[in-house]
Amino acid sequence: AQTVTQSQPEMSVQEAETVTLSCTYDTSESDYYLFWYKQPPSRQMILVIRQEAYKQQNATENRFSVNFQKAAKSFSLKISDSQLGDAAMYFCAWVPSYGKLTFGQGTILTVHP
Amino acid sequence: NAGVTQTPKFQVLKTGQSMTLQCAQDMNHNSMYWYRQDPGMGLRLIYYSASEGTTDKGEVPNGYNVSRLNKREFSLRLESAAPSQTSVYFCASSRDRLGEQYFGPGTRLTVT
């Protein structure tokens, strides 16, 4: 079975500091995509960043970047210069070429002022 | 441009009642999805429609049916609601199966 594991149920960070959220996945597929989604208390799911497995270069979006280690099946999210608005549940997700998105269990991120 | 809309936002049902959750997208996306989110868990795929006219089961399809009415609309039906179906339901759409998924605001359903 294809699985996505987020081993950190909760994380906290001080405002302006950096935090890294972990994600590992298990698949025998070679062609797939990885995502990080953010879910604030409003419940709205928001895409944070996307990584294509065939790309060696790690994706970045402003203060958000990933460390994609394909051989290790690891896809961590780094948030730099954390802001109060970054507080949310973060979900790692994986989709293979046949298109069924699988989510991890989520990590609750708290940002302290 | 409303994105993905869902109705209703909240619903309370009694065990055995039926209802349909509606979802519509105005982004001309080909693929649409229904997920449920339970406390302490990520989203789990119920059904999806890769393109107009097709539907496929996801991880947790039992107790649900879907209809891809047209390219814009994808409904989820509970024929005989059970307390185990108490959850938050999200609809999503994407340009294609591998594209970024855009989510609706969710429907909180309680079955008593």
Helix, strand, coil % (nearest 5) of chain B? 5, 50, 45
User: What's the pLDDT tens digit per position in B73-88?
Assistant: 999 999 999 999 999 9
Q: Strands B10-13 and B107-111, how do they pair?
A: parallel
Least CB-CB distance to A50: which of B33, B42, B100?
A: B100
Alpha carbons B105 and A22: distance in angstroms, whole number: 26
User: Which residue positions in chain A have pLDDT lower than 70?
Assistant: 1-2
B58 touches chain A (CB under 8 A): yes
Residues of B in contact with A101 (CB under 8 A): 33, 45, 101
How far, in Å, CA of A37 to CA of A92, rounded?
A: 6
In angstroms, the separation between the Cα of residue B90 and the nearest Cα of chain A is 9
**What value, to the nearest 5°, has the Cα angle with vertex B29 and ends B27 and B34?**
105
B60 touches chain A (CB under 8 A): no
CA of B80, closest CA in chain A: separation in Å?
26
What is the tens place of the pLDDT at every residue in B21-44? 999 999 999 999 999 999 877 899
| pLDDT reading at B92 higher than 90 | yes
Please report the pLDDT score of residue B39 as a whole number. Answer: 82
- Residue identified by tokens 């909180």 is B108
Whether A11 and A19 have beta carbons less than 8 Å apart is answered as: yes
